[in-house]
Structure 1
Amino acid sequence: MDVLNNLPAGGAATEILRVHPRLAAVFDALDASSWPWLLLRGGDDLALPAGDVDILVDKGVLPVLDGLLAAAGFCRVRAPGHGSHRFYFHYAVDDGAWIKLDVVSDLAFGPYQQWRTPWAARCLRRRVRRGTHWMPDPADQAWLLLLHLFMDKGSISPERHPLARAAARTAADGGRIAESVRRRVGAGLVAEMVDSVLDGRFDDVPGTAARMRAAWRGGLSPRLIAGANRVLRHAGAQVRGHTPLLGVMAPDGAGKTTLLNGLHADVPLPTKYVYMGLWGAGPWDKVLGRIPGGRTGKKIYRLVRGGVLARFYRRMGKVVLMDRVAYDALLGGSGGGPLAGMSNALALAVIPAPDVLLVLDVPGPVMFERKGEHSPELLESWRQDYLKLAGRLPGGRVVDAAQPAAAVQRVATGIVWETLSRPAGIRAATRRRNPGNGRSPAAQESVAPVAPAAPGAGAAEALALHLWRLLDWRFLIPVLQPRNLGFAGQVSQETEAALRLLDPEAVRLAGPAGASCDVVLLASPGRGHVEAAGLALEPGGWICVEASRSLLQRSGPRTLRGWKRTLERRGYQDVTLYWNAPNRDRTARLVPVRSGVAIRDTLALRKDVRFGALKAAAAHLALALHVFDLMVPEGTVTGRRPEGGGRP
């Protein structure tokens, strides 16, 4: 149900706006952070926004913003080269639509955010309340809209003519931004901009916009900023956190390629399509057929190439859409002698297992009508083989693909979102415990997407055993069961689920308003997290900092020794550094760095890993030179707040 919000004017409700429940959750989360924010544009299109929802926030909320919006159901997509812009997405399953947030902390204009301004803090100070959200002061809003149309877009589309005219009428009365704009582009161009809109001369807008861009003065060189951002954008967008791999299996004619191409085109997340086609025909089949082992060699080449691409794209933060998967090797009739059996086994080893495996279920006669290949009887027999296989594969989901392509794509999109928005460890546990969704293949003909569970809600049943290792830091402090647990930093959803099992009332530290905690966990902390922890910790409370060595970090400690010294300078006592060996994701040992014996024993166990001997030699040298705490790649630093005295 949509949320109804009143637009108050002096206490009287003059307009009723509908706000999508997910956006209402975002607004509530931002209000709870205690940092100022406002909705830049789109205040009249919040029921189910057709475009971006543009939000301006204070820079102070940035360290905790990802966590706040994740709790509201949004996933962040990193997009280098877009200035202060942060992009978040949510798929509204019931509406079959994506909602996109475009969050900024600075006000900059231009296609590459090259024309910067210092207006963000001023606009936040002058904001006004409108129902459940904040909006800019009317004069600020008018000028920001006109500058967005002229400096960003360079033209005004017909559907925006009435909105632009209304903004120009307000801007004609002046405003605090008006004088700043005149200093940057000149009073003549400002008057030309306003007059062209008021007079309806929209054909003149591109020329005026070009002259304003050329005349802009102040700040860093726009050309330099645009060039840097243009280069950064070549890195491409990346999904933050775990990126799912979606595999599709079905006989020819079931609609695999149509579905994956539709997902690749319509899902706004960064996706990559990988076609395996290990056993498909190729132009060189006649030549390879006359060479002993030629077809098997082609199969090996394709599986290695596809497996490498899938892993590379996943590492680059892309959602991988895989047409055909290695499980095809398990179908009857896929083998053809010892070489084929070896290549099938290699396929299962090289090609990554999908997080979700969609098996498209289409009757044989329907597949024959679609593609005209093979026979209805043969296609029906293959269909039954796929259904039997789906019932025993991890992550298998059978989808009724005989329905229209749009309906199939909507179901698949919901499954992609479900997989993306749920913690990775819970997904793995669910697959292991219930690989076929608890139903026979015949009962899975149409799978509806399941809404993601909130962190901590019902997570006790789904939390995998290995996720308890995320709480190993408890054994580094004397408080095994905290009374009041706080956390901050880059805490993943699965870690938050584990923390809430430890303390259902665990609080994410956000903003200047402190909580009262006896234990605080900081994961990859950023600016302000240590201060927030100091404000929240009770006398005698413990802080745990999980950090990594990062020599390229712009601010804050770059090494684990630096983090240890930071806590000591802030007055913490009993500060101890531990090495998470081999790393925080796969911690096998928590090794006290001050114990040379424990470090040497751990290194002895790591000799069999890749480059293990070389790494061990480097570690022994660092140990001898007393710089091991500078070389520790990932670790945990603990400290205790003194019983007396002020806050750290």
Structure 2
Amino acid sequence: MVQTGRSAVHPAVARAFRALDDSGLPWVLLRGADDLARPSGDVDILVAGALLPGLDGLMAGIGLCRVRAAGHGSHRFYFGYEDDDGGLWLKLDVVSDISFGRYQQWRTPLAAECLERRVRDGGWWMPAPADQAWLQLLHLALDKGEIRPQRQDTARTAAAAASSGDRLAAYLDQRCGAGAAAELLDLVRSNRFDDVPALAARLRSGWTDGARVRTPLRALTHRASRFVLSPRLPGHGLVVGVMAPDGAGKTTLLHGLRADFPIPTAYVYMGMWGAGPWDGWLHRVPGGRTAKKMFRVLKGGAAARYHRARGRVVLMDRVAYDALLPAAVDDAAAGRPAHSAAGKPRVGLSDALAVRLGAAPDLLLVLDVPGEVMFARKGEHTAEILEKWRQAYLRLAETLPAALVLDAGQSPEVVQRLAARAVWHRICPDSGTDDAETPDAGADDAAALALHTWRLLDWRFLLPVQPRRVGYGGAVDPRTAAALRLLDPAATRVDAGRPAGPDNSFEVVLLREPDLPLFEDASAAVQPGGWMCVQVERSLLRRQGPRTLAGWKRTFERRGFEDVNVYWHATTLDSPARLVPVASPAAVRDTLSQHEGVRFGLAKAVLARAALALRLFAVAVPAGSVTGRRPES
């Protein structure tokens, strides 16, 4: 637990605050300052709009993943799982403007003012006391429509710190009529909380912002978006399968995860051998059992793929791999290996088809429980039979991709924590970050970083100089910022709109996924003879700025940079195995030949070679770096 001047703060929350501080842009904690040691609800944060382009990467760098939720205005929701003291789900609710109403339909221009008047309070920023008081009162009146008994002390404290002459009080009078702010204060100070709902209704109905049509339309649009577009993880979701004999606790675990997960989930049952009302008839028909198995595989697989495409975590009770178990049991009893000499599971034609049609889990949890424990739990079969099945599952797990064996002989609460941690690490690979890996003012960054973090500095080999005075900007996460301090302990974030000067002049500037305003201001901050390195991904849907690395190269040249070069990050921007100069066809062809063996690698290599022959590879390359030198004069 991190101690600040005000109260204890959970380490994950402290990491988030430090990451926001490192961004160099203003932010404030809106609510929840007294519940930071182990937050039981949302941690509400207001940030500057300029921070939004890099916010997802910033949060991912400290183990928080965004859940996209349409129809919530500027709200962005970030979740994280901490495996400490029973497990903790952390939720940050980040906004870039101040809006009120159930559907954020009443927008205000107050965010910039509140950020400008912010004050430091221990380890975080808070709105000025009067702003904080009025934001709390307006939240209760306009968002909640009432002040419930459990919130009345909070309302009294806010009313004591507020006055009708404050800036936000004047704004309320401007929107809802003169005297509205004074009336709200009077009701709270005189404890007439029963009269608050009527006043809240008048404030809502009397709100005027010059948009009598747009405000109801905004509410309707946000409400419809919430109904049609459910919350989702970025990209595709995750299929989590559970395998184990009867009595191991599969269903208990999955229902516990579903009830505990604050992120979108879907439960899919893939029992191929479960009893059904038509079993008596089907078992008399040749091929009936096989047809039943295939139908259930198709049905369960289709449901899992649908929910995965909707960005949900699919919790699959049993998986198509169960079709391999009868052979695995026979192999275990006979002492035969569970796989062939080629390393493949021994499998018949119908079973192979079932595995092919079923949705392959992204994470397969195999619950390991001794046979006698399973028998004591459920009383089915015998302890000896269940032990044979246990060994068969373990042997089969050795041949299956993405399999993870969990010791499920422990209490259900412990098993659920182990499973939740495994699932979350698959959703957010950086969620293993701990305090020792998080940059902190005054800490020894070199000691705090794992050795693999040095890979974040591979880009420096693209430059002919040893970086000294370093600036960085865009979606640079805390780990990368800490790594940059190994090159320059005074490494500084470059922000759009910050005036150039001696303190904002650098020998080397690293930008990650910048927008054009940031690129323009950062290029002006490069010293004559200095270098700029921009790490970007191709995006044909980008609304502004270059969409390809070739476009970024032209942007460098138009800005006057010389010696501009493009490098392909093979295979991804985050974990490149090689940094390949696009201007070298031989290096590109050699790299392509090494990726032909992966899935779809041959097809991609053919297309890439065609782009290379047409001199369009800088347009086709999916991710990379562009470097350039600013002229001496």
Normalised-by-shorter TM-score class: 0.7 to 0.9
- The C-alpha deviation readout for 1:366-407, integer Å capped at 9, x for no partner, is 434444433333223222322344456555443343443233
For structure 2, the residue ranges without an aligned partner over 5 or more in a row are: 331-345, 439-445
Q: How many residues were matched structurally?
A: 594
8 Å Cα contact 1:514/1:532 also seen in 2? no
* Deviation (angstroms), 1:209: 1.8
8 Å Cα contact 1:276/1:324 also seen in 2? yes
* Deviation (angstroms), 1:181: 0.4
- The C-alpha deviation readout for 1:570-611, integer Å capped at 9, x for no partner, is 22234456788998799999695999xx99xx99x99x9799
- The C-alpha deviation readout for 1:225-257, integer Å capped at 9, x for no partner, is 222223333322233478554321111222211
1:169 partner letter:
A
SS at match of 2:416: helix
1:274 partner letter:
V
* Deviation (angstroms), 1:317: 3.2
> 1:94 matched to which residue of 2?
84
> 1:414 matched to which residue of 2?
421
Matching residue within 257, 262, 266 for 1:268: 262
1:3 partner letter:
V
SS at match of 1:360: strand
* Deviation (angstroms), 1:284: 3.5
SS at match of 1:555: coil
> 1:6 matched to which residue of 2?
5
SS at match of 1:166: helix
> 1:28 matched to which residue of 2?
18
> 2:441 matched to which residue of 1?
none
SS at match of 1:238: coil
8 Å Cα contact 1:356/1:397 also seen in 2? yes
> 1:556 matched to which residue of 2?
545
- The C-alpha deviation readout for 1:290-321, integer Å capped at 9, x for no partner, is 44333323333433444444445444433332
**Structure 2 residue 632 is the aligned partner of structure 1 residue 641:** no
* Higher relative contact order, structure no. (Cα contacts within 8 Å, ≥ 6 residues apart): 2
Structure 1: distance between partners of 2:281 and 2:505:
72
1:361 partner letter:
D
* Deviation (angstroms), 1:479: 4.5
Structure 2: distance between partners of 1:177 and 1:207:
21
Structure 1: distance between partners of 2:437 and 2:59:
12
Structure 1: distance between partners of 2:267 and 2:430:
23
Matching residue within 82, 91, 101 for 1:110: 101
* Deviation (angstroms), 1:514: 5.1
Structure 2: distance between partners of 1:45 and 1:577:
48
Q: Report the TM-score, using the length of structure 2 for normalisation.
A: 0.78
> 2:110 matched to which residue of 1?
119
- The C-alpha deviation readout for 1:66-113, integer Å capped at 9, x for no partner, is 333334443322222221112222222113212211111111111111
Structure 2: distance between partners of 1:558 and 1:459:
34
8 Å Cα contact 2:471/2:494 also seen in 1? no
Instruction: Give the aligned CA root-mean-square deviation in angstroms.
Output: 4.6
5 Å-filtered alignment, 1:184-203, equals 184-203=175-194
5 Å-filtered alignment, 1:26-105, equals 26-95=16-85, 96-105=87-96
Greater displacement, 345-354 / 217-226:
345-354
5 Å-filtered alignment, 1:377-526, equals 377-390=384-397, 393-423=400-430, 454=437, 460=451, 477=462, 479=464, 488-490=473-475, 509=493, 511=495, 512=498, 516=506, 518=508, 520=510, 522=512, 524-526=513-515
**Structure 2 residue 253 is the aligned partner of structure 1 residue 253:** no
8 Å Cα contact 1:252/1:371 also seen in 2? yes
Greater displacement, 31-40 / 389-398:
389-398
Structure 1: distance between partners of 2:525 and 2:191:
57
Structure 1: distance between partners of 2:82 and 2:265:
19
2:119 partner letter:
V
Structure 2: distance between partners of 1:92 and 1:218:
43
> 1:361 matched to which residue of 2?
368
Structure 1: distance between partners of 2:484 and 2:253:
38
2:217 partner letter:
L
- The C-alpha deviation readout for 1:176-225, integer Å capped at 9, x for no partner, is 11111011111354344333323323233223222211111115422122
8 Å Cα contact 2:180/2:203 also seen in 1? yes
8 Å Cα contact 1:335/1:341 also seen in 2? no
Percent identity, please: 50
Structure 1: distance between partners of 2:470 and 2:434:
28
1:563 partner letter:
W
8 Å Cα contact 1:248/1:358 also seen in 2? yes
5 Å-filtered alignment, 1:570-585, equals 570-575=559-564
Greater displacement, 93-102 / 571-580:
571-580
5 Å-filtered alignment, 1:135-214, equals 135-214=126-205
8 Å Cα contact 2:61/2:477 also seen in 1? no
2:2 partner letter:
V
Distance 1:328 1:23, change over 3 A: same
Structure 2: distance between partners of 1:312 and 1:506:
49
* Deviation (angstroms), 1:157: 2.0
Structure 2: distance between partners of 1:534 and 1:577:
17
Matching residue within 290, 298, 309 for 1:296: 290
2:544 partner letter:
S
> 1:342 matched to which residue of 2?
349
Structure 2: distance between partners of 1:487 and 1:343:
56
* Deviation (angstroms), 1:450: 9.8
Structure 2: distance between partners of 1:340 and 1:305:
22
Structure 2: distance between partners of 1:340 and 1:294:
20
Distance 1:507 1:118, change over 3 A: same
Structure 1: distance between partners of 2:220 and 2:533:
42
Distance 1:301 1:583, change over 3 A: farther
Greater displacement, 534-543 / 102-111:
534-543
Structure 2: distance between partners of 1:39 and 1:193:
24
Matching residue within 219, 226, 230 for 2:223: 230
8 Å Cα contact 2:119/2:128 also seen in 1? yes
8 Å Cα contact 1:139/1:174 also seen in 2? no
2:232 partner letter:
Q
8 Å Cα contact 2:329/2:389 also seen in 1? no
For structure 1, the residue ranges without an aligned partner over 5 or more in a row are: 8-16, 425-448
Structure 2: distance between partners of 1:630 and 1:407:
50
Distance 1:637 1:180, change over 3 A: same
Distance 1:586 1:18, change over 3 A: closer
